[in-house]
A and B are shown apart, each in its own frame.
Chain A
Amino acid sequence: MAAVIPPPGEHLHDRKNLQLIGKARRRVDGRAKVTGQTKFADDLQFPRMAHCKLLRSRVPHAIIKNIDATRAAARPGVLLVLTGRDFPIPYGILPVSHDEFPLCNDRVRFVGDPVAAVIATDPLIAFEALDDIDVEYEPLRTFSDPEDSIQHSEPRIHEYADKGNLHKLVSLQFGDVAGGFADADHVFDDVFFYQGNTHLPIETHATVGTKDPDGKLTVYSSTQCPHYLHKATAKALDMDPAHIRIIACSNGGGFGGKSDVFNHEIVVARAALMLDRPVKICLTREEVFYCHRGRHPVTMRFKTGVKNDGTITALHVQSLLDGGAYGSYGVASTFYTGALQTVTYHIPKYRFDGCRAFTNKPPCGPKRGHGTPQSRFGQEIQLDKIAVKLGIDPAELRLRIIEQPNTLTANFLTVRTIGLRECVERVVRMSDWKNKYKKMPHGRGVGIACSSYLCGAGLSINWNEMPQSGVQLNLDRSGRVTAFCGATEIGQGSDDVLVACVAEILGIDPHDVRPVTGDTDLGPVDLGSYSSRVTLMMGNAAIQAAERARDLLAIAVAKKLEIPKERLVFANRKVFDCENPLKALSFRDAVCAAETMHGTIGTVGSYSPPKSPAKFKGGGVGPSPTYSYSAAVVEVEIDPRTGWLRVPRVWMAHDIGRALNPTLAIGQVQGSIYMGLGEALMEEQEFRRLPERLSNALVHKFPSMLEYKSPTTLETPEMYIELVEDPDPTGPFGAKEVGQGPLLPIMPAVANAVFDAIGVRIDEVPITPEKILKALDAKAKGKDPRFGPASFPSVPYPEPIIVTPPWEGGDGRAANEPEKKHRTEQNQGARNAAWHDAQKLMNEKSNPEGASR
């Protein structure tokens, strides 16, 4: 049963006197982490455990002619060698791109694509045996960048691409955009480039597969999404999913990098089944760079029409994503480059053209902010340019154009609470913006930028109407409360959110609740720790389950104390009469009373997001129950002789709705600022093409933590952080996300600060001393004082799908949806409807009252 979102206000009723929500607390898993007792996947040891290493392609694009593993298999200590022949079934994270095999079947598509696996008694033996596998390749043309893929459609990296080597081509138009530009006093047209970068979790990916004594499969993995791994493993191994158990170990950082399904996970699962012994793999750092699925490199064009007062009349965004060799989450990433502009600022007419190209590089996908930081970078820099041109303070310009709360945007996204105005006002005040902007000495400056982000994707990856998150509670006479949920602790504090929501409702201490999470055998499904969905979705499910438990306890306690249950208060590990607090039962006695009355106490809660009003194709990416907002001011110091850049201070205000545990929330903001600065200043997932007359190689430039530059504590600035709390009716206790949104304004704020400091525009990341010096050179020569892409490539975007905005009477449907595709979607819709009807019938049968909840 799906939870129904209560109308605004109701959800917050009787939540005025919160006992632990909103108070800074030590996280429940903190002790294990700081004492080194948390077990990560690579910490697992089992008797007879074997070790797996993958042979990865050394060529960027080729047909596999032959694999001869005879010598490797004959090595002492080698137990098993697997190749693509052992894995005929493809899988993928999105239903529209099942384009990966656990081991490559007939083609390799990038240097690092796995072609064979060796399982041996020792990891060193497995590694050395890799060199004994002879692979014969027939090289194919190598595609090193998206423009290459636009120009050359053959050979195709994947046959299923929309066109040639262009994986996805989309175009959406909301309203008369040309008319909007005609109404503008000024039209700004800018091109930006956002370099790709990677997640760089400290823990490298690791997985252990085991065959259980009863013959079933258990897979322990450093995954953010055990549910998706469960589905993919069942598919790729052609197994009954009920015989597969996925256990997500605590992740040593994820940031989106462990949200895909990885080759090695399925390979060790298969190997464990075949060998009937545990098989472990722990990737090297190099391999993590090859797994990647991080930030797409994106070239983008922003065309914005504005009135003299800064009002936006129309926006046209074009993006070109370098997707790498596989689909991954790429279709969603593509749409995300064009989805969230409208939930931040009021944009009456909007067009988005997106394209994702396949190239022979590790696949790109979701990294913290998934597809939105790139276009946020473009939009926020362009707003800065607009402010300068119109002579409006950039902070003031943003205050003028912020979207209104409770609005349906041009692209049919539902904005609920929006605390961005207060965020801007707070960072302006905190940073003393008015005395700094345009007033600091040459070489020093400040920049401002804003952002918004999802609190969970409204539509799940696998379209169905089942809940996106479920929580199950079990209580017994000892007073113990166990909370089961499929959500995954990746360091962000999801276990703490789970127990805090339960403990608040039941009036007990968070440490009284044991979280059992990330285990597909034990807990109800939660889709995973991605898209900033866990706090909102799992939190609401946890509240529902806890309220149901509280009701069972209240009935029993009320009877025992002989008072109406409405008078009962659950607090301080007691259940007492609000009119006579001495009339009380301890929480344990309350559970005993309930167990006596009802039998074993167990409750469930679940959450499904509200349906999106967007009915057009492509409208599935962007909807969210609500959105978080952030504003940041960044200060920079630049030495104009060398271009050397330092960020001494950052101010950030984040609209979180309500901070469930401010300690964790502030930590997420700090982590976002830190990660954002890495992207702004130095991180680059760069590739090296050797001279083509001598070599076919296309390799990652530096797959190591030494040469892939990410900031240390010494580069980390002083941070001044405030949380804006305006409880959102859709969130648990009013909470919105904080894990991703605060990263987004950092990169453009740095670029805008550079302009304030030295008067040059750096229209791409990373913003390095070299680029600053080049822009200063251009300025000195009287040229455009800018470093960035000169033009936007010619991309064969399709004719746009036309959707009328809500204020022009649109109903969320496209006026010109292509007939064939329309039918497909109708079929999907029909299937959904049929499923819904069946479900309703079953509910009615089991619940003759016909209750809707």
Chain B
Amino acid sequence: MMRLPHFTYRAPKSVAEAASMLASGPGEAMLIAGGTDVLPNMKRRQQTPKTLIGLRNISELQTLTNGDGLCIGAGVTLTALVRDARVRIHYPGLWQAVAQIATPHLRNMGTLGGNICLDTRCNYYDQNYEWRKAIDFCMKKDGQTCWVATSSPKCLAVSSTDSAPALLALDARVRLVSAGGAREVAIADLYQNDGINYLTRRPDEILTTVVLPDPKGRKSCYWKLRRRGSFDFPVLGVAASARFEGDTVVNINIVLGAVASRPLLASKAAAALLGHRLTDENIATAAGIASDAAKPMDNTDFTLGWRKRVVREFVTLALRDLRGDDVRAERYRYALQSLEAVG
């Protein structure tokens, strides 16, 4: 197997202690929670921090409390989230997203904060050191060129988090804490469409909490497309949430995952539905608009033409799901398991 490089491991007991450690060694330390993303990256030498600051001993990051809606500590494991009845009942979109992340084993270790901050992915980047050396490296690490599109001035690595689109659709906010203070931002503002600088989190900040507003009857869902029913990162994620008055949509979010370097808000598609009923025609129109916005690149599993084409089908499924159609057969077809059995 590949070996980890040498590093120093530090285990603070509080967020304040972690923040001061992070502030003291700028650029040399990285945070580690479950380690399911950062450790493989370190083995491949994509990241070689001198120090890892472990967040596992910080109890305040492990809490799941009722706030206005729900406050989820960034260190809560994905398995704990899947098993939480409040998440399952009130935020089904988040629950469906988290239940389909990676594998049961990885969900046991991986945390919500880790999945939100998940490094962007690319077939030219998620390779070991020798492989990357054979292509003379790429823009994201040690090289100059973006091999996905050689004329691209920016890195095109793909946002591959499942939880983030679902959280965007639910209007979640995240709390960031540094030695200098704390701030809270809409999760949509945590991301930017750049494969290298995909987070607006400053290097000295720790993502501590995810704040979900009271759903107030808002429906939500998440549809994940991947080759296999387990392990795989999404090649497409569609998160949607809506509030209805009667049959009329009064509030709606549609978010696409894995088609850009950030979770992509399909605002125009959503706007087209606002104040309307989710008729087949309206759904088809919105799905068409959403698929126009998706710009998948040739750096994940499957071909980009097909990935773009299925955006329309998946947005349609998500909107039909919100409308209350029986989509269990379609859910099983793509999830390859009954999500109800996950947990």
Q: Chain A interface (Cβ within 8 Å of chain B)?
A: 56, 58-59, 111, 123-124, 127, 204, 282, 284-286, 637, 639, 641-644, 646, 682, 688, 690-691, 694-695, 697, 699-704, 706-707, 709, 711-712, 714-715, 768-770, 773
* Pairwise interchain contact B334-A644, C-beta atoms closer than 8 A: yes
* Pairwise interchain contact A697-B228, C-beta atoms closer than 8 A: no
**In the complex, which residues of chain A have a beta carbon less than 8 angstroms from the beta carbon of B303?**
770
Knowing A124-B3, A707-B126, A709-B228, the reply to whether A642 touches B150 (Cβ < 8 A) is no
* Pairwise interchain contact A699-B131, C-beta atoms closer than 8 A: yes
**Could you list 10 A-B pairs, sorted by A, with CB under 8 Å?**
A58-B130, A688-B123, A694-B150, A695-B136, A697-B135, A699-B134, A702-B123, A703-B131, A714-B337, A770-B305
* Pairwise interchain contact B228-A284, C-beta atoms closer than 8 A: no
Name B58-96 residues within 8 Å CB distance of A.
Answer: none
* Pairwise interchain contact A712-B228, C-beta atoms closer than 8 A: yes
Q: A127-B2, A286-B127 are in contact. List 15 more A-B contacts (CB 8 A).
A: A58-B130, A58-B134, A282-B1, A284-B1, A285-B1, A286-B130, A639-B333, A642-B309, A682-B228, A701-B123, A702-B123, A709-B232, A714-B337, A715-B228, A773-B309
**A334 CB to nearest B CB, Å:** 29
**In the complex, which residues of chain A have a beta carbon less than 8 angstroms from the beta carbon of B305?**
770
Alpha-carbon distance between A768 and B145 when the two chains are bound, in angstroms? 30
* Pairwise interchain contact A642-B310, C-beta atoms closer than 8 A: yes
* Pairwise interchain contact A644-B134, C-beta atoms closer than 8 A: no
* Pairwise interchain contact B123-A111, C-beta atoms closer than 8 A: no
* Pairwise interchain contact A690-B135, C-beta atoms closer than 8 A: yes
* Pairwise interchain contact B3-A127, C-beta atoms closer than 8 A: yes
**Total number of B residues with any Cβ neighbor in A under 8 Å:** 37
Answer yes or no: B313 CB below 8 A from chain A CBs: yes
* Pairwise interchain contact B123-A707, C-beta atoms closer than 8 A: yes
**A702 CB to nearest B CB, Å:** 6
**In the complex, which residues of chain A have a beta carbon less than 8 angstroms from the beta carbon of B306?**
643, 769-770, 773
Alpha-carbon distance between A691 and B136 when the two chains are bound, in angstroms? 13
Mostly, the B contact residues are loop
* Pairwise interchain contact B135-A695, C-beta atoms closer than 8 A: yes
Q: Chain B interface (Cβ within 8 Å of chain A)?
A: 1-3, 5-6, 123, 126-128, 130-131, 133-136, 145, 147, 150, 227-232, 301-303, 305-306, 309-310, 313, 330, 333-334, 336-337
Q: Which residue of B lies closest to A700 (CB)?
A: B131
**In the complex, which residues of chain A have a beta carbon less than 8 angstroms from the beta carbon of B133?**
58
Knowing A58-B133, A284-B1, the reply to whether A709 touches B147 (Cβ < 8 A) is no
**In the complex, which residues of chain A have a beta carbon less than 8 angstroms from the beta carbon of B126?**
704, 706-707
Alpha-carbon distance between A123 and B230 when the two chains are bound, in angstroms? 32
Mostly, the A contact residues are loop
Instruction: Say which residue of B130, B135, B150, B313 sits within 8 Å of A56 (CB atoms).
Output: B130
**In the complex, which residues of chain B have a beta carbon less than 8 angstroms from the beta carbon of A703?**
127, 131
Q: Which residue of B lies closest to A60 (CB)?
A: B134
* Pairwise interchain contact A715-B336, C-beta atoms closer than 8 A: yes
Alpha-carbon distance between A768 and B228 when the two chains are bound, in angstroms? 12
Q: Which residue of A lies closest to B305 (CB)?
A: A770
Alpha-carbon distance between A690 and B136 when the two chains are bound, in angstroms? 11
**In the complex, which residues of chain B have a beta carbon less than 8 angstroms from the beta carbon of A715?**
228-229, 336
Q: Which residue of A lies closest to B233 (CB)?
A: A706
* Pairwise interchain contact B229-A123, C-beta atoms closer than 8 A: no
Which 9 residue pairs are nearest across A and B when measured between Cβ atoms?
Answer: A714-B229, A58-B134, A770-B306, A714-B336, A124-B3, A697-B135, A709-B227, A111-B134, A712-B230
Knowing A694-B145, A715-B336, the reply to whether A709 touches B301 (Cβ < 8 A) is yes
**A471 CB to nearest B CB, Å:** 37
Q: Which residue of A lies closest to B227 (CB)?
A: A709
Instruction: Say which residue of B147, B232, B313, B333 sits within 8 Å of A637 (CB atoms).
Output: B333
**In the complex, which residues of chain B have a beta carbon less than 8 angstroms from the beta carbon of A688?**
123
Knowing A643-B306, A712-B229, the reply to whether A123 touches B3 (Cβ < 8 A) is yes
**B110 CB to nearest A CB, Å:** 15
Instruction: Say which residue of B6, B123, B134, B227 sits within 8 Å of A59 (CB atoms).
Output: B134
Q: Which residue of A lies closest to B124 (CB)?
A: A688
Q: Which residue of A lies closest to B300 (CB)?
A: A707
**In the complex, which residues of chain B have a beta carbon less than 8 angstroms from the beta carbon of A123?**
3
Instruction: Say which residue of A111, A643, A691, A769 sits within 8 Å of B150 (CB atoms).
Output: A691
Alpha-carbon distance between A712 and B334 when the two chains are bound, in angstroms? 14
Q: Which residue of A lies closest to B145 (CB)?
A: A694
* Pairwise interchain contact A699-B135, C-beta atoms closer than 8 A: yes
**B85 CB to nearest A CB, Å:** 25
**B106 CB to nearest A CB, Å:** 11
**A486 CB to nearest B CB, Å:** 30
* Pairwise interchain contact A641-B313, C-beta atoms closer than 8 A: yes
**In the complex, which residues of chain B have a beta carbon less than 8 angstroms from the beta carbon of A700?**
131
Alpha-carbon distance between A282 and B126 when the two chains are bound, in angstroms? 22
**In the complex, which residues of chain A have a beta carbon less than 8 angstroms from the beta carbon of B337?**
714
**B165 CB to nearest A CB, Å:** 19
**A24 CB to nearest B CB, Å:** 30
* Pairwise interchain contact A706-B150, C-beta atoms closer than 8 A: no
**A467 CB to nearest B CB, Å:** 40
Alpha-carbon distance between A204 and B227 when the two chains are bound, in angstroms? 24
* Pairwise interchain contact B336-A646, C-beta atoms closer than 8 A: yes
Alpha-carbon distance between A711 and B330 when the two chains are bound, in angstroms? 20
Alpha-carbon distance between A363 and B136 when the two chains are bound, in angstroms? 23
